[in-house]
Amino acid sequence: MQLSIVIPLLNEEESLNELYNWIVSVMRSNSFSYEVIFIDDGSTDGSWKTIKKISAEDPAVKGIKFNRNYGKSQALHVGFDKAEGDVIITMDADLQDNPEEIPKLYNLITNQNYDLISGWKKKRYDSVLSKNLPSKLFNAAARKTSGLKLHDFNCGLKAYRKAVVKNIDVYGEMHRYIPVLAKNAGYSRIEEMVVQHQKRKYGKTKFGVERFINGFLDLITIWFLSKFGKRPMHLFGALGILMFFFGVIFAAWIGGSKLYKLYHGLPSILVTDNPWFYISLTTIILGTLLFLTGFLGELILRSSREKDRYRISETTGRF
């Protein structure tokens, strides 16, 4: 199979039939072998009913329904797990991504040997203050932190070589940083392609300004994980030893100073009245705790366990 098109959605009943017909038209005109996987992330409208109807009429369409809203990352995770195509395309269900871009994305992956192509909505039709400006700041921070020179990390329209999606772990809200996850997994051939952005035709956006706050927090998380995720002792252990060392130096200085003054009969204060005593004590304790944190992190890394990411309540189509 050449293509798997993975589409996470939440309450997009009005757009699904139009999107499906558009995708099928592009697939047939290019003679692609394909599958379409809709992941219903706990919709409360008639989205799942529409997906089941489409799937019953077209065996190339598959559907997965979560029993509640788990988030886009969880939807992409299960979609990647089920995808069977050589190239996986992700796109949003709100008709703001254009299926006509799919053949070019496919060719870039297969003919030019890229691992991942990320869409860049260079011209946007969103509100400047609520979306465009925060998005520019967010993308600038992501470029600086990750080293990837992409303009639009959060664009839903992306293309992946199959090996990429099978070897990255999308969790939490890390869907914004899939290119960074791919880079950290060793897939370096990452490029972007300018894609068409279309105005939302039905419904309203599911994302508010808070997504950018969460995005920056996730950016810090992924930076930390890429640097120290596999070796937490290198950070916490080093900081712990450094703080413990300075704490001991302060304590020795306080004790030595006290003994020197007592020996020479100089006036001195009680050790417990010296503020440096409490600074040194706190530093020693914090250093010990940081070292233990790094040690525990190493132990946790060596004990793998299955994550309860989501619960699927229903599927449709043949997986």
CATH number of the domain where residue 217 is located: 3.90.550.10
Specify the 3-state DSSP secondary structure of 315.
strand
Residue spans of alpha helices (H) in the chain: 13-29, 47-57, 72-82, 102-111, 133-146, 162-166, 178-184, 210-228, 232, 238-263, 275-301
121 plus 221 within the same structural domain: yes
What three-state secondary structure class fits 249?
Answer: helix
Considering 170, 201, 228, which residue would you say is the last residue of a domain?
228
Count how many domains the chain has: 2
Could you tell me if 98 and 221 lie in one domain?
A: yes
Same domain, 85 and 206: yes
Which residue did the predictor score with more confidence, 173 or 155? 155
Alpha-carbon distances of 207 from 68, 126, 132, rounded to whole Å = 17, 12, 13
pLDDT tens digits for range 107-158: 999 999 999 999 998 876 655 444 566 677 778 877 887 888 888 888 899 9
Structural contact between residues 295 and 39, judged by C-beta atoms closer than 8 angstroms: no
Residue 184 binned pLDDT confidence (cut-offs 50, 70, 90): confident
- Give pLDDT, residue 131: 58
**Mean pLDDT within 233-251:** 90
Higher-confidence position of 316 and 20:
20
Q: Is the model's pLDDT at 271 over the cut of 60?
A: yes
Strand-strand pairing, 61-66 and 87-90: unpaired
Range of the domain at 239: 232-301
Residues 216, 154 share a domain: yes
Q: What is the DSSP letter of 39?
A: E
pLDDT digits (tens, 9 = 90+) for 125-139: 655 444 566 677 778
Q: Are residues 255 and 179 in the same domain?
A: no
Spatial distance between the Cα atoms of 235 and 231, rounded to a whole number of angstroms? 8
In this predicted structure, the answer to whether residue 209 has a pLDDT above a threshold of 80 is no
CB 113 within 8 A of CB 87: no
pLDDT at residue 274 in the model: 85
Query: How many angstroms separate the most distant Cα atoms in the chain?
Result: 98
Per-residue confidence band for 85, with pLDDT thresholds at 50, 70 and 90: very high
223 and 237, same domain (yes or no): no
Six-digit token string for 271:
């050790």
Count of CB atoms situated within 10 Å of the CB of 153: 25
Is residue 59 in some structural domain? yes
Average pLDDT of the chain, as a whole number: 86
